[in-house]
């Protein structure tokens, strides 16, 4: 006979069995669950007990899928024919599909910000969100080693920034750059002391495999983007953050989707109307970068004029990077800045023509 404590814990063991050994492609019967209870937990129970506990789990809202089957049997005591309904094809409906987990894991595999050790731990945790059959296939997943310098304070920094944004508080940080020794080095004041900066944090965002903080440096009036993986020694302050309405570029609030498109590669700056020209065959590339934020106007010569609202600083860097396929035509001030950048590039490669 089961002890009272054993009876109470059976329901938890059944839930663990379903989570570990079942999914939509791998189902169990009541009898198989009873066998697992015996082999893994040393509990001998009958199918009626299993069914009763399954019913309690289903009634409690656990996402357990099953098929009801009615079977006829002869009651030995009465000699009469009776019917009994059982559960079969039982499986636990996991929160994530295997395809969704693969997508999340792939994102971590190629993350350039998350340190290797945390990457591996997170991937292992994601693997445990599905059945053991998915976990076994995780052996074929290789977590790429650290191919770039890593900031061990990254997750702590994210935690503090999350708290600061939620509470509307300022933070004080040290902002760093990488040296040839592959280590972070803090920015310094003119007297050689470590430079500490007070920021008003508004939003964290992932872009191009990096984590950025959209914020305002308290000494300035404009919006800025800081690489979170370059932040160290973060301190949560008691002082309230500056309202976004007082920051140039955020007066009307922060529409994150628009902001990311307008600040390519997270270069900050006030957005303005920009027009550039491409050949029609490059339209797909432009849509990949800008989506529906760009409007197209076909020209008589077969080229396409592209117009959008974007940070001029961000557009300058992006236009130089793609100078072989596009030509910015307005505003004129941006055109001159791009020409200056291209002249510098020509000089570096000894091009004087």
Kindly report the CATH number assigned to the domain that includes residue 41. Answer: 1.10.10
pTM of the model: 0.61
Does 88 share its domain with 24? yes
pLDDT value at 208 more than 60: yes
- Within a domain: 123: yes
Percent of the chain with pLDDT over 90: 47
Instruction: Report yes or no: 309 and 273 within 8 Å, Cβ to Cβ.
Output: yes
C-alpha torsion 29→134→137→146, nearest 10: -160
Supply φ then ψ for residue 299, to 5 degrees: -105, 165
- Within a domain: 324: yes
Q: Which domain holds residue 300?
A: 271-348
Does 158 share its domain with 247? yes
pLDDT value at 231 more than 80: yes
Does 109 share its domain with 88? no
Does 80 share its domain with 106? no
- Within a domain: 148: no
pLDDT value at 284 more than 50: yes
Instruction: Report yes or no: 304 and 283 within 8 Å, Cβ to Cβ.
Output: yes
CA dist 332 and 276 (Å) reads 11
Q: Which residues have CB under 8 Å from 46's CB, separation 6+?
A: 34
What pLDDT score does 77 carry?
74
Does 241 share its domain with 305? no
- Within a domain: 282: yes
Which whole number is the average pLDDT over 303-332?
Answer: 90
What pLDDT score does 261 carry?
63
Does 80 share its domain with 8? yes
Does 164 share its domain with 125? no
Final residue of a domain: which of 223, 252, 281?
Answer: 252
- Within a domain: 53: yes
- Within a domain: 261: no
pLDDT tens string 56-111: 999 999 999 999 988 777 777 777 777 788 899 999 999 888 878 877 877 776 66
Which of 201, 205, 284 is closest to 235 using CA atoms? 201
Does 214 share its domain with 162? yes
Does 82 share its domain with 19? yes
H-helix segments, the chain: 4-21, 30-41, 47-59, 98-109, 116-127, 132-137, 154-167, 256-262, 283-290, 312-321, 332-348
Please give the tally of structural domains in the chain: 4
pLDDT tens string 138-175: 654 545 555 556 788 888 998 899 999 999 999 999 99
Enter the tokens of residue 143.
């977590």
Going by their DSSP bridges, the two strands 184-186 and 271-279 should be labelled as unpaired
Which of 175, 255, 242, 240 is closest to 215 using CA atoms? 242
pLDDT value at 221 more than 90: yes
pLDDT tens string 12-40: 999 999 999 998 889 999 999 999 999 99
- Within a domain: 17: yes
Going 166 to 170 to 171 to 174, the CA torsion angle's sign is positive
Does 104 share its domain with 86? no
What count of other Cβ atoms lies within 10 Å of the Cβ of residue 19? 19
Final residue of a domain: which of 219, 252, 285?
Answer: 252
- Within a domain: 263: no
Least confident residue range of 76-90, 98-112, 195-209, 278-292: 98-112
CA dist 316 and 12 (Å) reads 59
């Amino acid at each position: 006979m089961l002890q009272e404590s054993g009876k109470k814990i059976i329901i938890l063991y059944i839930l663990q069995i379903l989570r570990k050994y079942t999914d939509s492609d791998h189902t169990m019967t009541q009898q198989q669950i009873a066998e697992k209870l015996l082999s893994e937990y040393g509990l001998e129970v009958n199918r009626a007990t299993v069914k009763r506990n399954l019913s309690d789990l289903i009634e409690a809202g656990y996402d357990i899928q099953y098929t009801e089957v009615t079977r006829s049997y002869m009651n030995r005591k009465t000699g009469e024919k009776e019917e009994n309904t059982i559960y079969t094809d039982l499986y636990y409906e996991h929160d994530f599909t295997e395809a969704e987990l693969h997508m999340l894991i792939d994102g971590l595999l190629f993350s350039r910000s998350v340190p290797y050790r945390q990457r591996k731990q997170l991937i292992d945790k994601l693997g445990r969100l599905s059945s053991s059959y998915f976990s076994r296939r995780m052996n074929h997943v290789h977590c790429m080693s650290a191919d770039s310098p890593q900031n061990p304070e990254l997750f702590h920094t994210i935690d503090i920034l999350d708290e600061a944004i939620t509470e509307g508080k300022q933070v004080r940080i040290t902002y760093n750059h990488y040296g040839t020794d592959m280590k972070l080095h803090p920015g310094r004041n003119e007297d050689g002391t470590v430079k500490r900066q007070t920021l008003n944090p508004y939003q964290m965002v992932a872009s191009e495999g990096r984590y950025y903080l959209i914020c305002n440096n308290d000494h300035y009036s404009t919006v800025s983007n800081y690489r979170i993986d370059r932040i160290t020694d973060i301190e949560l302050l008691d002082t309230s953050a500056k309202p976004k309405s007082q920051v140039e570029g955020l007066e009307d609030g922060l529409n994150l989707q628009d902001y990311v498109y307008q600040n390519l590669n997270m270069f900050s700056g006030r957005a303005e109307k920009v027009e550039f020209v491409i050949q029609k065959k490059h339209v797909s590339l432009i849509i990949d970068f800008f989506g529906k934020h760009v409007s197209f106007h076909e020209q008589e010569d077969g080229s396409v004029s592209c117009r959008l609202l974007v940070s001029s600083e961000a557009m300058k860097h992006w236009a130089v990077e793609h100078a072989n396929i596009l030509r910015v035509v307005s505003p004129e001030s941006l055109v001159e800045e791009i020409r200056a950048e291209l002249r510098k590039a020509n000089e570096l490669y000894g091009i004087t023509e």
